[in-house]
Amino acid sequence: MVRAAGSEIGGHIAIYPGSFDPITNGHLDLIERGAKLVDKLIVSILRNDSKQPLFTVEERMEMLSEVVGGFPNVELDSFDGLLVDYAARKSATVILRGIRAISDYEFELQMALMNRRLGPDIETIFLMAGEAYSYISSRLVKEVFGLGGNISGLVPPTVEARLRKRKGI
């Protein structure tokens, strides 16, 4: 558990924000590893996403719950508006994000610096994606599945089942 001096009373709450459309094994790996570093990890789905999602927020929440429902210090939620405002409402001190390849770095750096400017008390912490997951994204999973490719091992089985149901197979 990470504890800054003087933080013994409250403990650290981290937010892992994202679209999770749908959750992949890469996200799951990050949640498992991130949850070990903090007292509470809130995995939170952005509600007002400009991207056209495949699954509704409620469906994504159900899938997350099926996969991480048993983790004792992981909570699920959704949010609107600025991430730093949401994090402050949740008394979070940490934003957790994953970095897969160097191509993620630029966008993540921009977000981390903007979030630091907007909320200087909240620190963004990055975990490197596990090597087995470093090429997996929700977007690619949807594309490959939509074109009939095999996605087993890339997403939890329950997510694969939902994708099949959605496609009527």
165 is catalytic: no
Residues numbered 80-119 forming contacts with ligand PNS, rule: CB under 6 A: 82-83, 111, 114-115
Of residues 51, 89, 164, 167, which has the active-site annotation? Answer: 51
Q: How far apart are CA 83 and CA 87, in angstroms?
A: 6
47 is catalytic: no
100 is catalytic: yes
Under the binding rule (CB under 6 A), the answer on residue 19 touching ligand PNS is: yes
C-alpha triplet 97, 100, 101: angle, nearest 5°: 130
Three-state SS string across 118-130, please? Answer: HCCCCEEEEEECC
Part of the chain binding ligand PNS (CB under 6 A), chosen from 12-20, 33-41, 52-60, 151-159: 12-20
157-167 and 138-146 helices, crossing angle to 10°: 50
The single residue among 46, 63, 92, 122 that binds ligand PNS, judged by CB under 6 A, is 46
Active site residue ranges: 27, 51, 100, 138
